[in-house]
Amino acid sequence: MNASAPVNEATRARVLAVARELRFAPNGSARALSRRRTGALGVVLPDLYGEFFSELLRGLDQEAQRADHSLLVSSSHHDARGVGFAVRAMRGRVDGLVVMAPEVDPAGLVDVLPGGVPTVLLNAAGVQAEIHTISVDNAGGALAMTRHLLALGHRRIGFIAGAASNADAREREHGFGAALSEADLPHDQTLVVRGDFTEASGWRGAKTFVALADPPTVLFAANDAMAVGALSALRDSQLDVPREMAVVGFDDIPVAAFLNPPLTSVHVGIAELGAHAAALLLRDLAERPPPGTPPRHELLPTQLAIRGSCGSPGGTLIPSLTHRTARHGHPSTSTT
Amino acid sequence: MNASAPVNEATRARVLAVARELRFAPNGSARALSRRRTGALGVVLPDLYGEFFSELLRGLDQEAQRADHSLLVSSSHHDARGVGFAVRAMRGRVDGLVVMAPEVDPAGLVDVLPGGVPTVLLNAAGVQAEIHTISVDNAGGALAMTRHLLALGHRRIGFIAGAASNADAREREHGFGAALSEADLPHDQTLVVRGDFTEASGWRGAKTFVALADPPTVLFAANDAMAVGALSALRDSQLDVPREMAVVGFDDIPVAAFLNPPLTSVHVGIAELGAHAAALLLRDLAERPPPGTPPRHELLPTQLAIRGSCGSPGGTLIPSLTHRTARHGHPSTSTT
DNA sequence: TTGTAAGCGTTATCAG
DNA sequence: CTGATAACGCTTACAA
């Protein structure tokens, strides 16, 4: 049935007929045990909420499927212990591992990973160990976006940060700060409020900024979910976006281009990130690189997706930047 | 190590110490083979795009995790063959199966499912076989929403349908039609355009309606993703929502409450649907119901989540209905 | 080309 | 309480 050896055609037909009759399907565990190959990739995530993880999974699944692999998913792992537990539970059940744990110290993370299984760490830059890493250029993206806002004339930028415990959030915040320094602008702490990457926290963050005596002219949310919340809050406060207060986000989740107004964001190829991670694993699996082969450490570049939600504070929009929309006349393809 | 038998404390400690030293982790496949229990639930989905599936997975994972199970996910299965393949590949790798295949004829679906594994079919109402089913009340939800729109005074309702091949889409369309019949309104075919549950198709659908000589006063999209696209299109057409054209959706994905304007939608407990399916499976697994026990066939009720995007065509909003918002003063909890 | 036996890493059973 | 032994269902190597 596996076509692993030459067989008489008649015999094969007979076997196949009986197999069908018995509704036979091979037992995956037995198969995996014997051939030392499971046909599955393990995915360990901190969470499963929102379009970011949805897209990541989609990319992973897409690539895994090309190699007839499925995904063993385990989420809600916020500390090293939890990740270690999840990863151990996957031992012998997966051929490779994709781990994303932005709240866990990378050093401690490496300790809990089992050897012998090809592993890719997502967004765990700075890991020394012999493990593949693929990371989004968080700092670079935030830097570029902030520069863009400054170029538009914004001087008071309200930053809605993510949780301090989240490495991605910290890097984005650093990128933002770097751009301010670059422009010799002060790091005004009243212009940073901390959220937690949820829409609700973005909503609260925006409300905080609106209540300020001298409110910012633009809000930079450290992810799109919070930007969505911010847009909603500004609408509730009857403020026009971008005229009275602009909003930009980070991630460029699929819905961003369809928001009202369309959300300017730092485009991250989320699905590509997942697809790339899976491809890396599958390549290792297929080619069995000799021991000592150095791991890959890749940095996924970001791009600015300029849409309608950012404006210049004086109301003077710069068409070439703010209206750089659809490649094919359609919002869904409007990232640049 | 499994605490499956009384052991001398000293021996246990010694074993555990060596295990830790060797970084021992049991092989999942071997374990599964021997104890005839894998600790995983299989999830077969048509797709992985968008917040609907994200939420569904979240609910499934949440419940599975409570019982120390993980999720083996396989998506992109649109026909019976594909589903059959995916399901067979999971044989011996999962303890239970959750299958959602709205594009597959339920009868043909049952044929490809392997016996011996507890299975829950999602949104495959009308299956005769001895298999659990949990279905969203698609027709009921669409009926209720349409009635609501009629009560607001709308008489020309543009329906952005889903793919004709999708059972959920068809049921929602039927519910819409039933409400029209009920009100003795004609089924005007120019007031139905067909999309495919993506934002882009909703955008196109709305554009089609806007171009009509006698455009509808409200658009009812068969899912929220298309409603998001419609809102975007109306904005592009400089039409005020809901004053010039209202929009409502179906599913009530998490982002709906944060849209601009907040989207009125048929609330579906998506995560609950997933959690419920997982719970059903895990219960069967724990209690091993005797053969002959009838399967459960459950219908998940929907509720209207009335927000700002639906209005009365004359501009006379009915506060009690249109402003039934946040329970706790916050959009994220504003479903009713 | 076909049949047979060993082994994959664990758990379960059953004498000591 | 401990150690040995037979499954678990498949693949693979080797003998017929």
Q: Which helix (H) or strand (E) holds A62?
A: helix A51-66
What is the per-residue pLDDT for B204? 98
DSSP helix/strand/coil, B264:
strand
Band the pLDDT of A316: cuts 50, 70, 90.
Answer: very low
Q: Is the CB of A5 under 7 A from strand C?
A: yes
pLDDT of residue A328: 33
Burial class (CB in 10 A: 0-12, 13-18, 19+), A94: buried
Tokens encoding B283: 């219960």
In the block, tokens 């992109």 appear at: B76
Q: What is the pLDDT of residue B312?
A: 62
A residues 190..209 contacting B (CB < 8 A): 198-200, 203
Q: How many CB pairs under 8 A join A and B?
A: 200
CA dihedral A284, A287, A290, A293 (to 10 degrees): -50
Chain A contact present for B28, CB below 8 A: yes
Q: Which residue is the nearest neighbor of D6, CA to C1'?
A: B34
Reported as a single tens digit per residue, the pLDDT across A245-301 is: 999 999 999 999 999 999 999 999 999 999 999 999 999 999 888 888 899 999 999
- Ranges A101-105, A110-114, A292-296, B205-209, most confident: B205-209
> B195, B222 in Cβ contact below 8 A?
yes
Which B-chain residues 43-72 have CB contacts (< 8 A) with chain A?
48-51, 53-54, 57-58, 61-62, 65, 68, 70-72
Residuewise pLDDT in 10s, chain B (336 residues): 777 777 777 777 887 887 788 778 889 999 999 989 999 999 999 999 999 999 999 999 999 999 999 999 999 889 999 999 999 999 999 999 999 999 999 888 888 888 889 999 999 977 777 899 999 999 999 999 999 999 999 999 999 999 999 999 999 999 999 999 999 999 999 999 999 999 999 999 999 999 999 999 999 999 999 999 999 999 999 999 999 999 999 999 999 999 999 999 999 999 999 999 999 999 999 988 888 889 999 999 999 999 999 986 544 333 333 333 333 333 433 333
Region class of A123: left (phi > 0), else alpha (psi between -120 and 50), else beta:
left
Closest-CA distance of chain A to residue B45, Å: 11
Smallest CA–C1' distance to C2, residue = A7
Rounded to 5 degrees, what angle do the CA atoms B143, A259, A271 make?
A: 100
CA angle, B32 then B35 then B41, to 5°: 50
At B303, is the secondary structure helix, strand, or coil?
A: strand
CB under 8 Å to B61, separation ≥6 — which residues?
A48, A73, A74, A75, A76, B70, B71, B274
Interface of A with B in 82-121 (CB under 8 A): 86, 88-93, 114-115
- What's the gap in Å between the CA of B88 and the closest CA on chain A? 6
- 3-class DSSP state for residue A264? strand
Using CA coordinates, name the residue in chain A closest to B47.
Answer: A58
- How far in angstroms lies nucleotide C6's C1' from the CA of residue A113? 33
User: A279-293: b or e for each residue (b if 16 or more CB lie within 10 Å)?
Assistant: bbbbebbeeeeeeee
Cβ-Cβ contacts under 8 Å, A228 against chain B: 255, 258
Closest residue to D11 by CA to C1' distance?
Answer: A34
Q: Mutate which of A21, A22, A27, A29 to disrupt the B interface (most B C-beta within 10 Å)? A: A29
Subunit contact B61:A53, Cβ cutoff 8 A: no
Note whether A199 contacts B71, CB cutoff 8 Å: no
Best residue in B78, B258, B270, B325 for a mutation probing chain A (most A CBs within 10 Å): B258
Closest chain B C-alpha to A87 CA, distance in angstroms: 10
Return the pLDDT at A3.
75
Task: Estimate the share of chain B in helix, then strand, then coil, as percent rounded to the nearest 5.
Answer: 40, 15, 40
Note the pLDDT of residue B4.
72
Q: Which structure tokens are listed for B113?
A: 């499912």
Give kind and range of the element (H or E) at residue A194.
Answer: strand A192-194
DSSP string for residues in A274-328: HHHHHHHHHHHHHH-PPTTPPPPEEEE--EEE--TT---TTS---HHHHT---TT
Strand C, nucleotides covered by protein (CB < 7 Å) = 1-2, 7-14
- Strand C contacts in B 2-21 (CB under 7 A): 2, 4-5
Give SS3 for A131. Answer: coil
Instruction: List CB contacts of B197: < 8 A, sequence separation 6 or more.
Output: B50, B162, B163, B166, B169, B222, B223, B225, B226
Instruction: Write the DSSP string, A82-110.
Output: HHHHHHHHTTTT-SEEEEE-TTS-HHHHH
DSSP per-residue letters across B40-55: EEEEE-S---SHHHHH
Cross-chain CB nearest to A260 (options B68, B71, B235): B235
Element (H, E) at A133: strand A132-136
Residues with Cβ within 8 Å of residue B92, at least 6 apart in sequence: A25, A26, A27, A28, A29, A30, A31, B32, B33, B38
Long-range contacts of B319-322 (CB under 8 A, 24+ apart): B321/B148, B321/B151, B321/B152, B322/B152, B322/B264
Please tell me the total number of residues recorded for chain A in this structure: 336
Please enumerate in sequence order all residues whose Cβ is within 8 A of that of B165, keeping only pairs 6 or more positions apart, or say none.
B103
Cβ atoms of B143 and B118 within 8 Å: the answer is: no
